[in-house]
Amino acid sequence: MQPTPDDVRPAPGAHPGSGWVVVGLDNGGTCNNATVLSDSGEFLVDGLVENESRVKDGPEVAVASLAASFERILDLTGTPRAFVRAVGLDTPGPASADGVISSKGATNFSQAAWRGFDFRRALESRIGLPVVYNNDGNAAALYAHYAFFGADAAQQSSVSAIVGTGLGGGLVEAGRVIRGAAGMAGELGHVHIPMEGLLADGQPVPSCNCGFSGDAESVASLTAIEKNLLPFWLTRFPGHQLAGLDPHMAAKQVRSLGEQGDPLAMEIFEQQAKAIGRLFTIASNFTDPSAYFVGGGVVEATPEFREWFLARVRAHTALRGEQIDVVRFAVVPDLDMAGARGAAIAARTIVLGD
């Protein structure tokens, strides 16, 4: 999407006496999205500023495409390169905490040359500026945290569950992403949750692409709908309109059916809400965060459906009385921009050294 002039403001550094900026670059399977964040915490771009990510053409082409995205966002915002202190990069995982793509490869990075590729360092050498890396789930969690808490972000903690093809998200403590020793903290989708009372009578224990059975992603993801939930619930709703359709296409229709109150779809979303609630219950006993965020397709729906889903998640999160009084539940905003914005926030945090 091309930004309109109204979407873009000049960098404060472009004017005498004002400060520095950081750039956020979100690398996805199809597109990169870029943003600029000022030293005062203001985003200079309201919408998406995208170019083709070309990750399928291998690392060299993809790094060049990200560099082009970087140059273009500087042009659009009139930001002199000298004002840029750091660049935040986020990509889909799996990758190390420092942005080395998994040696086993990754869905988005299929070419052999990607295996073990140090994406962060390659971009850093290409553009000659410090690059701070986060996986896309952690970047989105960081943006959700800052968007919700604003000036108070550094004093707060949160957990974000983002329902997409898989279940992503992240943990933020005192305004910073918890990365873990190997970059695997906040892999919420692969946390085991109790299945008793979640599955219907006769429903098989669902399995996840990661090799686990009964983890959060095996219920709360689009893949889970296609492989686990829909095949089972179709046996309970004979003659349903989704029966006989290609499973992948059928899974994508479940949300709009949910918005219309279709009983099969409601069973599926109730199970997903229960899975996320049980995941949040684990979080409540683990890091006891001050906020619980839900994002992704499941809440990019009509306001009524979104509110219903969030209320169901909340109902299935078993909090203690002391927690109920202080915690909040909310939706992850602007998910399409959350990666670039979260990546920029991470870079700004490093520059500020707080």
Using CB atoms, what's the residue nearest to Zn ion? 208
By C-beta, is 11 or 275 nearer to Zn ion? 275
How many Å is the maximal CA-CA distance in the chain? 70
Least distance (Å) between residue 216 CB and Zn ion: 8
The binder of Zn ion chosen from 47, 51, 78, 212 (CB under 5 A): 212
How many Å apart are CA 349 and CA 202, to the nearest integer?
Answer: 49
Least distance (Å) between residue 287 CB and Zn ion: 20
Distances (CA, A) of 137 to 97, 148, 170, 298: 12, 16, 6, 16
The binder of Zn ion chosen from 106, 178, 184, 210 (CB under 5 A): 210
Straight-line distance from the first to the last Cα atom of the chain, in angstroms, rounded to the nearest whole number:
34
Least distance (Å) between residue 207 CB and Zn ion: 8
**How many chain residues touch Zn ion (CB under 5 A)?**
6
- Say if residues 262 and 305 touch (Cβ distance below 8 Å): no
By C-beta, is 220 or 346 nearer to Zn ion? 220
Hey, what are 247's tokens?
């499973």
Which residues are CB-contacts of 117 (< 8 A; sequence separation ≥ 6)?
Answer: 59, 100, 101, 109
Hey, what are 14's tokens?
């472009």
CA atoms within 13 A on the CB side of 109: 27
By C-beta, is 67 or 184 nearer to Zn ion? 184
Q: Which of residues 310-339 bind Zn ion (CB under 5 A)?
A: none
The binder of Zn ion chosen from 208, 225, 343, 345 (CB under 5 A): 208
Distances (CA, A) of 214 to 190, 235, 292: 9, 20, 22
By C-beta, is 156 or 223 nearer to Zn ion? 223
Least distance (Å) between residue 253 CB and Zn ion: 24
Q: Which of residues 214-233 bind Zn ion (CB under 5 A)?
A: 215, 217
Least distance (Å) between residue 180 CB and Zn ion: 16
Least distance (Å) between residue 292 CB and Zn ion: 20
Site string for Zn ion, 158-197 (x = CB under 5 A): --------------------------------x-------
Of the candidates 252, 267, 262, the one whose C-alpha atom is nearest the C-alpha of residue 222 is 252
Which positions lie near Zn ion, rule CB under 5 A?
A: 190, 208, 210, 212, 215, 217
